[in-house]
Every structure is written in C-alpha cells, then in structure tokens.
Amino acid sequence: MVLILVGQSELWDRLGLQSFAAIRQRIDIQFKLGHYDCAQVGDYVSRHLQYAGVDQ
C-alpha cells in the first residue's frame, strides 16, 4: 500500500507526536517544497503543464 500525505508544515508537526511514531517510522521519502514567489509559481505551473502535454 502506498499512502501520500500532502499538507502544510503543520502535518509534519502533528506526525512528530508520540501517538504517530509508528507512521513516522514508515515514511521512506519526505520532500519539502521551498517558498516560491509569484513569478516562480507561474514558471513551476507552466513547466508542469508542459510536461503533461497541455499547451493552453
């Protein structure tokens, strides 16, 4: 089973609680996307739309 957790930094804070220790131990990959300014967001979205084959 694969579970993808997506959320703000508060999610990782929540997983830091002792009650979530078993879940935290099973996380193989963690990726944090840094803060983007408005122009970087536009470039990021455009690039991924291009990869997906969208041209409009």
DSSP 24: H
CB atoms under 10 Å from CB of 27, counted, come to 11
The pLDDT score that the predictor gives to residue 46 is: 93
Residue 4 CA, chain-centre distance (Å), reads: 9
Helices and strands of the chain, counted as H and E runs = 3, 0
Torsion of CA 47, 31, 29, 48, to 10 degrees: -10
Taking the domains of the chain in order of start, what are their residue ranges?
9-51
The pLDDT of residue 29: 83
Q: What global pTM score does this model have?
A: 0.44
pLDDT of residue 10: 83
What pLDDT is recorded for position 7?
76
Reading the chain (56 residues) residue by residue, the pLDDT tens digits are: 777 777 777 888 888 888 888 888 888 888 877 889 999 999 999 999 999 999 87
